Amino acid sequence: MPTTTVSRRYQITLPAEVRKALGIRPGDRLEVEIEGGKIVLRLVRPPIKALLKKLLAEEAEAVRKLGEATGHDAVAYVRRLRGRDDDDL
């Protein structure tokens, strides 16, 4: 089992094998809990809906160009599948 050391500033470094196994990247958030005398860390991932909205907002021009180049509109397609025409993915 991998171990880590608490620094003077009460910080720890997650061992590489743990980061790789869970796909943890810089900026990811971890939830910290105490369970029966143990420290439990849980990776917090934003909901997929929030990620899609962020991606569409940040890359709107690239998404538009891709849609034009391929003749597809992924957002409209998903809305049609869901039977919705509103802006809520």
Distance of CA 55 to the CA centre of its chain: 11
pTM over 0.75: no
pLDDT of residue 40: 96
pLDDT of residue 87: 56
d(CA 76, CA 72) in angstroms, rounded, equals: 9
Mean per-residue pLDDT for 66-81? 77
Alpha helices (runs of H) in 1-89, residue ranges in sequence order: 16-22, 48-58, 60-70, 74-82
Q: Is the pLDDT of residue 74 over 90?
A: no
Task: Break the chain into its structural domains and give their ranges.
Answer: 1-45, 48-82
Q: Give the model confidence (pLDDT) of 17-63 as tens digits.
A: 999 999 999 999 999 999 999 999 999 987 888 888 888 888 888 87
Question: Is there a contact between 4 and 12 (Cβ–Cβ < 8 Å)?
Answer: yes
d(CA 65, CA 42) in angstroms, rounded, equals: 38
- Which CATH number does 1-45 carry? 2.10.260.10
